Chain A
Amino acid sequence: EAGVAQSPRYKIIEKRQSVAFWCNPISGHATLYWYQQILGQGPKLLIQFQNNGVVDDSQLPKDRFSAERLKGVDSTLKIQPAKLEDSAVYLCATKIQGYGYTFGSGTRLTVV
């Protein structure tokens, strides 16, 4: 079974620029999550999708962050404009059932 694929692995941008991250989940996994992990902290949920519908985006800073999951498969997370405090690892995770997630390797974003 292929894992959760994320790209790019690393991204450096200047503040106020925009950036997009991509996630390709495990085939058949209906539930998809985006987490933000700031250095020294645990992953924090940004948004949860069930197929192509949003289940929970209550912690997504909607003034600058947006996410979509077209056709219930791949997902993109966008930040526009980026701030210094957005520097973090952005993790995509999926699950098919049960309680545990499978995570991708993440995208490390540095905003300078």
Chain B
Amino acid sequence: DQQVKQNSPSLSVQEGRISILNCDYTNSMFDYFLWYKKYPAEGPTFLISISSIKDKNEDGRFTVFLNKSAKHLSLHIVPSQPGDSAVYFCAASASGSARQLTFGSGTQLTVLP
């Protein structure tokens, strides 16, 4: 039972263009969402998060949008840079779950120079 889904295993984008990574969830109890970035042979590192009381959070080149009615969130990277090439994981947590994170399966982003 996949509660957090990333349906695109991979995405290729030209340097300087926008990268849009998508994530869907099924558990309506999720109220906090995070994006992690993972380089090979390293652990995931926190990128950006959003609470369910907001619909947008921005940090530099990274913006996360949340559509609660659609149970959908997306990560926008503008402009994309070759160093952004990594696997991006969407994660979610609920208040009653000891704040455990449930992860999606990841999207491999490749930014082409």
Chain A interface residues toward B at CB < 8 A: 4, 9, 33, 40-45, 48, 50, 55-56, 91, 93, 95, 99-106, 108
Q: In chain A, what residue has the closest Cβ to B42?
A: A105
Complex Cα spacing A40 to B104, Å? 10
Contact B100 A99 (CB under 8 A): no
Assembled-state Cα–Cα distance A4/B44 (Å): 12
Report the bound CA distance from A57 to B111 in whole Å. 39
Find chain B residues with CB under 8 A from A95 CB. Answer: 99
Task: Give Cα A108–Cα B46 distance, bound, in whole angstroms.
Answer: 21
Question: How many residues of chain B are within 8 Å of chain A by beta carbon?
Answer: 25
Measured CB to CB, the nearest residue on chain B to A55 is B98
Residues of B within 8 A of A102 (CB): 46
C-alpha gap A99/B102 in the complex (Å): 12
Q: Whose C-beta in chain A lies nearest to the C-beta of B9? A: A40
B43 touches A91 (CB 8 A): yes
* Closest Cβ neighbor of A98 among chain B residues: B99
CB neighbours of A50 from chain B (8 A): 98
- CB of B19 within 8 A of chain A? no
Can you show 8 pairs from A to B with CB atoms below 8 A apart?
Answer: A9-B41, A42-B103, A44-B103, A55-B98, A100-B34, A101-B46, A101-B101, A106-B42
- Complex: how many Å from CA A108 to CA B103? 19
Interchain CB contact under 8 A, A99 and B103: no
Closest to B99 in A: A99
Known: A43-B103, A48-B98, A48-B100. A103 touches B44 (CB 8 A): yes
Closest to A6 in B: B43
